[in-house]
Homo-oligomer: A and B are copies of this chain.
Amino acid sequence: MGDENEIIANQNKGEYYVPYYQIPIDKFFQFGLSVDCVVFGYQHGSLKVLLIKRGAEPFKGQWALPGDLVYPNEDIEVAARRILYDLTAIDNLYLEQTRVYGQVDRHPIGRVITIGYYALINIENYNPKASAWADSVFWIDVNKVPDLAFDHNQILSQALKTLRYRVRQRPVGFELLPEKFTLGHLQELYEALLNEPFDKANFRKKILSMNMLSNLKENQKDVPHRPARLYSFDKNRYDQLKSKGFSFEL
């Protein structure tokens, strides 16, 4: 948001009527718009989601997804990034729209349409931060999410479904890992995300055959077993392959 006090009016509306029902068009401009973000992180072998305790009415004090109203002159994705920045102090997170939630009675103070987004974050870079609308912020295991305000449980489960889907067909899993990781870490991540085991040998062959990881020629340290090779995701290489028709699939 630039000038958050300059709320634009919809200046031209006066001239218009909805001709077929003879209702002044202003009556149609009563909607509120919000954004709710499902922020996923991965730690200690399990998938977590960032929840807040709401610091404002309605539902003050309850668990909820981070979200906020969109300004009348603010782009939707910009609003989503504003919320994420306020919460994590990180820019440029991986962000994807899921769907719209528009039940007439979903918000107690009026008709508020909300747009669901999910974001992926490398939990090690995370900088916890309460904010204007959140008293406090917690990582919660995705399998232990409590009852949430509004229809946020539904938004969360849709986001999870989209993520599980996406992760099989685009290399987005890496967003959840540190820069350098082992193939074992990567496999554990996929197993946690998809809740299904993979054969080690086959998983490695598949991932490596895609040719989108850089072998860092560097090993793990201080592990009580044979140290594993470290890799990183090579985005340039991937973009190049993609432009040649290759498509990630798992």
Contacts and interface: CB of A to CB of B under 8 A. Distances in A.
A13 to B, nearest CB: 5
A242 to B, nearest CB: 16
A227 interface: no
A177 interface: no
Given A32-B29, A100-B97, A110 B69 contact: no
B75 A110 contact: no
Contact of A4 (B19, B23, B76, B109): B23
Interface residues of A, number: 49
B23 A32 contact: no
B18 A69 contact: yes
A139 interface: no
Between A10, A20, A25, A30, the greatest number of chain B beta carbons within 10 A of the residue's beta carbon is seen for A30
Nearest to A71: B28
Contact of A113 (B8, B16, B19, B113): B113
Contact of A111 (B25, B73, B103, B132): B73
Please give me the 9 A-B residue pairs with the lowest Cβ-Cβ distance, nearest first. A10-B110, A20-B132, A76-B102, A31-B31, A7-B27, A12-B109, A28-B69, A29-B32, A30-B72
A111 B57 CA distance: 25
A113 B33 CA distance: 9
A81 to B, nearest CB: 14
Interface of A: 4-5, 7-13, 15-16, 18-21, 23, 25, 27-33, 56-58, 69-76, 97, 99-100, 102-104, 108-111, 113, 115, 132-133
Nearest to A133: B20
Given A10-B109, A19-B132, A100-B97, A30 B29 contact: yes
A83 to B, nearest CB: 12
Contacts of A15: 109
Contacts of A16: 57-58, 109
B73 A104 contact: yes
A136 to B, nearest CB: 16
Contacts of A76: 100, 102, 113
A194 to B, nearest CB: 15
Contact of A32 (B28, B100, B133): B28
